Structure 1
Amino acid sequence: MTGAAWWRQLFGRRKKVSLSTDRTDLVVVVSSFDDVEACSTALDRGAAADPAWAADEHAVLRHHLRLPAAEIDRAVELAAQDGYTVAADPVDVPPVSADELTAVVLQRVQILDALHCSQEKSRMAGLAQRAGGTVVGWDALQPSPSGGH
């Protein structure tokens, strides 16, 4: 993120959130399914990819978790306090492991930067751990440059 973009995000007028999680033109622009990879590294990779992550635009941040079935409702309830919803039909989800955990994808719309991504990654790790599950990784979606909604 450029210095000017950072300054605008911190002190400037907030863009009206118009990104909906149910848009059909959303594509994965950045992802990390490596526990030790820093969010800044993943975002740098996403900015250089095609389609490229647009730092100044809202994104749908999705966290891919594996949770015991009995704990899903409580975890979703806790995540909802921070604006997360369950992804209705997640795409590009890694295969479910052979253990007894259920795949759950929690998502919310936000401006994505390394600091907030890292904070949310930690928050989801704590949530999953308290529920007896694990976090597989995260990804972010933005509208395809060539698509409509």
Structure 2
Amino acid sequence: MAALGLRRTDRDKPVLSIDDPGLHVVVWSYDDTEAASAALARATAWKPDEPAVLRHHLALPSDVVDTARALLTSDEWTLRPGGRGDDLCVPGSTPLVALRVQRLDALHCSQETSRMAGLAQRHGGETFGWDALQPAAE
């Protein structure tokens, strides 16, 4: 629950799943120079009071994917093949997406972006931005 950033009173509500088929992208930042606050400010479909699935798109050399997965799993991230790196990564790299359910705010988006960039840099990879998904409005 810590990654979700939920208060004790929120625990009775259903928890969002990274595999929810009703999710759609509500905010994105694929430009390294764009501040998370600017991305969130322009996001008209984003519901700030509800959890979202934050996705970071990256590519890593194939031989370090398991190491990266172990590092991220300890903080409730799921690392899967795919993401924007499918078309953008250099040959020999594995395109990946790191996913986690959490509340979105500019500070935490920025911190996680920095963390993913550091992870990629330390392991010879690259990042391609982030996006967040929430259920469609009812």
Q: TM-score, normalised by structure 1?
A: 0.80
Q: Distance in 1 between matches of 2:9 and 2:117?
A: 28
Bigger drift between 93-102 and 126-135 goes to 93-102
Q: Distance in 2 between matches of 1:66 and 1:28?
A: 20
Q: 1:145 to 1:72 in 2, by over 3 A?
A: same
SS at match of 2:10: coil
Q: In structure 1, what residue type is equivalent to 2:53?
A: V
SS at match of 1:135: strand
Shift of 1:98: 4.3
Shift of 1:15: 1.7
Q: Which residue matches 2:73?
A: 80
Q: Which residue matches 1:20?
A: 17
Q: 1:14 to 1:123 in 2, by over 3 A?
A: farther
Structure 1: which 5+ runs fail to align? 1-8
Q: Which residue matches 2:29?
A: 32
Contact 2:72 2:79 in 1 (8 A): no
SS at match of 1:56: coil
Contact 2:53 2:101 in 1 (8 A): yes
Q: Which residue matches 1:4?
A: none
Q: Which residue matches 1:64?
A: 57
| Paired residues for 1:1-149 under 5 Å | 13-16=8-11, 18-46=15-43, 48=44, 52-87=45-80, 93=84, 95-146=87-138
Q: Distance in 2 between matches of 1:66 and 1:117?
A: 19
Number of matched residues?
131
Structure 2: which 5+ runs fail to align? none
Per-residue deviation, residues 30-83 of structure 1 (Å, max 9, x unmatched): 01110110000011111x2xxx01011000001000100001110111011111
